[in-house]
Chain A
């Protein structure tokens, strides 16, 4: 098991613009780190730099106190699971798993023992003598993971391993990967573009955009305290509601913001860096806009569209000041298009971003759902 640190890692092609700019990241032993971001954000490039498939332009990659920049992939003690599984089509499952071990000169019995063990964990014992094309997508996925497990690597790298599976299988395999991580106590770096995968699997989530790390933290940190507008928009579904406004009054214990239409909103964030007149963006998650008047900040609006999910519904509402918001409402409550509704939210539930898009620290990022009931 491994402790990995990335120091000022950079990647550029032919000396042109940086694809990745100065990546700094610490990965603890046994940690499950998810790199997440939209396509083209550099997450796959970063993973391939860890694996050694992509050269590191500058900076240091240190695995267990050994600088690995110039080590061949096989010498880094890593194993990789590819998006397309990349099973060798002409070898059966057993030979697929044995290939890497043979290269490293493992004995016959040792190879056999490791394969049987991995096959047991993944429940693919009965498939060992089949060729990849005779397997279903889910089975191929397991073999690809098995091929990584038998190598007993210090570090597992997963490149969007679930994106070729259908929705139901994806959920199931996700759970299995989580269980595998727990059982093997393995260090894992996992790339995905799917925020649900990221939130459910990661001990630490690294949100990337345009070659930069936007924020790294636990799932809850990202949800409660997104560092900037990009992370705020990327994590959470439906997207966080964002409302433009101007600071009326700011201090360490809260910021008041004047919205379009003149309403003044009180928020509980550390506003010591702001002054009256600054332009800011206020954010509120759809589940924090309540269809009651328990919150301190009050709104009214008209329902444009209702999406019924069963346990909840999404109400698309235009507020009286013309701002469009999404509200996650009680799924079993009858709401009709055209209804006028009153909404409220506690001052503590708001996020505020300055004109650079950076978030101000929320003072009480606690459990808003509980607050809704208590109040």
Chain B
């Protein structure tokens, strides 16, 4: 018996399909297409093959900025991987211990910053780190570190790291919650079996719990990767499109923005912008590909 008609399917799917296609899938494909075109001064577009990409990767006028943004973006990602995710893991591990008083309250507060606008967070930290206000400096003086204070956001060597740490501060709740969820999904009896066999809490963590949550750690990694290589708001709100000082905080998102809209003397170019966007797309796709085909296949999900 055929219990549904062609029209049922069409009516149910059409709205989602149309909006998604027109405003997500088509723009993405069209962006890929425009990457192979160039815009004349009159706004007319013409095919130029991979010239945009060779320019982007090898012509110093473009490539210096691109590779700088790329390098910064990798740094930005590595800081998240080395600080945000281990802290998230630590917090999740502590929260998942049995009988921690106030665990729910801690969770609620630690997760809160992830819900706030990156723009707002950027401004808040800008104020806190501002030498004008002096909050950080006086706090550091209190613990005897007063002379180590510096206007970190303004210095070329420290600006990117500081921004990355602000982002870590904001988003540490996400790995924490994801890892916490997978930790508490491990049946209690498996842990008890290890206890009875004489494994120390430390050993249980490394040999039982951690291997069992590897798939989640993989997921956290890819989410961090996509989020970081697509970041823009924080840098833009704190440092503007120029991503100063001296482009030291420029990442692919801000570079894309400048390429597309132009800045100072440089005129914006939709086609060159499309080429940058396509490159970002390929980087993210590569990351997701590595994740799905290598990591996710290797890491077995355990059904308990």
Check whether chain A touches chain B (CB < 8 angstroms): yes
Which listed residue (A73, A87, A90) contacts B196, Cβ 8 A? A73
Contact among B190, B195, B198 with A89 in the assembled complex (CB-CB below 8 Å): B190
- Chain A interface residue bracket vs B: 20 to 34
Given A82-B192, A89-B212, A99-B197 contact (CB < 8 Å): yes
A372 vs B197: C-alpha distance in the bound complex, in angstroms? Answer: 53
In the bound complex, residues from chain B placing their C-beta under 8 Å from that of A83 are: 189
For B194-221 the 0/1 string (1 means CB < 8 A from A) is 1111110001000110011000000000
The contact string, 1 if C-beta is below 8 Å from chain A, for chain B 167-198, is 00000000000000000000101101111111
Residue A260 at the chain B interface, CB threshold 8 Å: no
**A182 within 8 Å of B by Cβ?**
no
In angstroms, Cα B194 to Cα A74, docked, is 9
Considering only residues 167-221 of chain A, those with a C-beta below 8 Å from chain B are none
| The residue from A78, A86, A100, A151 contacting B192, defined by CB atoms under 8 A apart | A86
Interface string of A69-88 (1 = CB under 8 A from B): 00011110011101110111
Contact present for A89 and B302 (CB under 8 Å): yes
A157–B68 Cα distance when bound, in Å, is 63
Taking the complex as formed, is A108 at the interface, i.e. its CB lies under 8 A from any CB of chain B?
no
Given contacts A86-B187, A90-B300, contact A78 B196 (CB under 8 A): yes
Closest-by-CB residue of A relative to B300 is A90
Decide: B198 and A72 in contact? CB cutoff 8 A. Answer: yes
In this assembly, does B40 line the interface, its C-beta being within 8 Å of a C-beta of chain A?
no
Between A83, A87, A89, the greatest number of chain B beta carbons within 10 A of the residue's beta carbon is seen for A89
B208 and A103: CB pair below 8 A?
Answer: no
Q: Give the size of the chain B interface in residues (CB under 8 angstroms).
A: 20
B7 CB-CB contact with A under 8 Å: no
Looking at the assembled complex, report how far the CB atom of B202 sits from the nearest CB atom of chain A, in whole angstroms. 12
Given the known inter-chain contacts A83-B189, A84-B187, A103-B203, please indicate yes or no for A89 contacting B304, CB distance below 8 A. Answer: yes
Q: Jot down 15 A-B pairs with beta carbons below 8 A, ordered by A.
A: A53-B195, A73-B198, A74-B196, A74-B197, A75-B198, A79-B196, A80-B192, A82-B192, A86-B192, A86-B193, A87-B193, A88-B190, A99-B194, A99-B197, A99-B207
Contact A100 B208 (CB under 8 A): no
The residues of A that contact B264 with a CB separation of less than 8 Å are none
A37-B280 Cα distance, complex, nearest whole Å: 65
> Does A51 lie within 8 Å of B194, measured CB to CB?
no
Report Cα–Cα, A75/B192, bound state, in Å: 15
Contact status A74-B198, CB under 8 Å = yes
Q: Given the known inter-chain contacts A86-B187, A86-B189, please indicate yes or no for A80 contacting B302, CB distance below 8 A.
A: no
Query: B198 touching A104 by the CB < 8 A rule?
Result: yes
Cβ-closest chain B residue relative to A81:
B193
A52: chain B residues at CB < 8 Å are 195-196
B210 to A, closest residue via Cβ: A90
Chain A residue with Cβ nearest B303: A133
A80→B187 CA distance, assembly (Å): 16
Q: Which residues of chain B come closer than 8 Å to A133, judged between CB atoms? A: 302-303
Contact of B199 among A53, A78, A103, A147 (CB under 8 A): A103
